[in-house]
Structures are given as structure tokens and as C-alpha cells.
Amino acid sequence: MMLISINNVSVKASQKEILKNISFNIDKGEVLSILGPNGSGKSTLIGILLDDFNSNTGSVDYFPNKKEVFGSIGIVYDNQLIFPFLKIKEFIDYFASIYNIDVKLYNTYIDIFGLRKILNSLIKNLSQGERTKLAILLAIFHHPALLVLDEPFSGIDPTIIEKIWNSIRRNNNTIAFTSHDWEMAAKVSDKVIFLNDGTMVCPAFDPKNFMEKLPSDKIIVLPYCPIVEENLNGFRYYVHNNSLVIFSDKKVLNKVRGLTRNFSILDATLKDVYFYLTYRK
């Protein structure tokens, strides 16, 4: 069942196109990840989803209506605006009173998020990761039907990210999030969209089927060498961060071996889809 539909959305600011003709759907109970480098338009798209500002063209439709969708929502922005002179415990108590929730019911969350020992710390003294954990806790403890998260795991200790994610998914809610952790996004998402310079690289797709978009499930990786690239006519490859990445088969491997011995053979990943589709020779 569709929850949100984004239709040909474009956003322009100061004569610069930030988003260009973006279209995709978010279904109820679905996990959607929005992936791309810094400056690709991810946070702007989150703002459009949340109706924080309007697009220049296109539309965003909510089902059955915006009021019902926004009536049960949790949000984590990339830059958290949290009262600096309150203690963590005071802030949790404040939100619990707004939602009429007994804060004692959320002791498990407090432990999972590693906040127990710093409950009496002032928010202004928290690290970025601690602020982010607090923001996620406040976004989920009223069990929202929709979660919109902008870089929700930035600065968080990788050893507890899986526990936090399991807490987020406890109620099988609908989630749209941005991330720089593409490996995690590939594991937890039902659908991904790639943004590159404000445009969608390809239609939204299931990351578990990413191999369907690549010429091969193996890649040959070597330091960029113009001589090797000159001999790759007819082969599929891309260049990124001074590396030459070639999609492998027996013919390609024999060709590369005849040119250099300085290469590695690796499994292709979701990132290879992005770089392959966005590379321009």
C-alpha cells in the first residue's frame, strides 16, 4: 500500500538546480534508503518529504492524507537542534510528557543506546554521536508509523549500530533515511535510490538485486593507468579515486594480465552500481 508518492519534483535555489525531476514511491512498512555523495541533494529531498519547504515543480502526495501520515511520525535531522542546557534525563522526561508516555517503559532503550551513564549530562557537553543517539531515541519512543532519518548513525560507535537499528525496526514502521554506510543500506533496505548532482541515477530498486545492474559480479581493481584504459575498448569499467575498476570475465582478465600484474579481483558491491552508472568517459 502506497504511503508517499513523489512526482517529478524539482528544487531550485539561487539559480542552481538542487533536485531535478525526482520521482519514486514509498510503500507502507517499507525501508527506503537515499544514497549519494555530499551535495547530491539527499538532505533537500528529506526536506521535501517532510514538507519543510516546497518544490518548484512536481508534487508530493500522502495517503490517505498528509494529516494522518504526519500524525504518527518520528524525525532525525542531520543537524540536531536540541536544548543545550537541559540534561539528557530532563529532555527525555519532557518528550515523555508531550506524548503522555511513562518514561520508565523506555529503560531498555536507554540501555541499548548507551545513555544510562550520561543521563545527568548537559546536552551541550555531549559528543556528536551521543546527541544523535538521543535524537533517535526521542524519534522512536512513541512508536511512530513513519520515520524519516537524515544520516541517523553519524558519529555513533559501529559496535552498537545494529542494536539501535533493531530498536528502530521493532514496530515494522515505514522508514526513509539517508546514509553514507552503503553496506548497511544494502542489508536493511527494501528499496534504494541513487542521487547524483540532484538527479536520480536510475529508478528506485531493491538493493538485494543490485547485480542485475552490473555486467559482472566480479571486478578487477588496479591503480589508474592510462595505458591500461586505452586498451579497454569494448570492456565495461569506471574510474574512481585514481582506481581503474573493470568488470571481469575471462577475456578481460587475460587482457589485464598482459598489461599489468598490479591488480586485485574483488566481489562487486552496491557502490559499484553507483559509480558504474554515473561514470562518464
Task: Give residue 273's pLDDT.
Answer: 97
> How far apart are the C-alpha atoms of 83 and 198, rounded to whole Å?
33
Task: Give residue 171's pLDDT.
Answer: 79
Positions in the chain short of pLDDT 70:
81, 281
- Alpha carbon distances (Å) from 60 to 75, 81, 134, 155, 205: 18, 26, 30, 31, 20
Task: Give residue 176's pLDDT.
Answer: 97
Q: Where are the domains of the chain?
A: 2-208, 214-278
- 132 by Cβ neighbours in 10 Å (0-12 / 13-18 / 19+) ranks as buried
Arch. (CATH architecture) of 214-278: 2-Layer Sandwich (3.30)
Mean pLDDT, the chain, whole residue set: 91
Task: Give residue 82's pLDDT.
Answer: 73
Task: Give residue 81's pLDDT.
Answer: 66
The predicted-structure confidence for 208-249, as pLDDT tens digits, reads as follows 999 999 999 999 999 998 989 998 888 999 999 999 999 988
> Is CATH 3.40.50.300 what the domain over 2-208 is classified as, yes or no?
yes
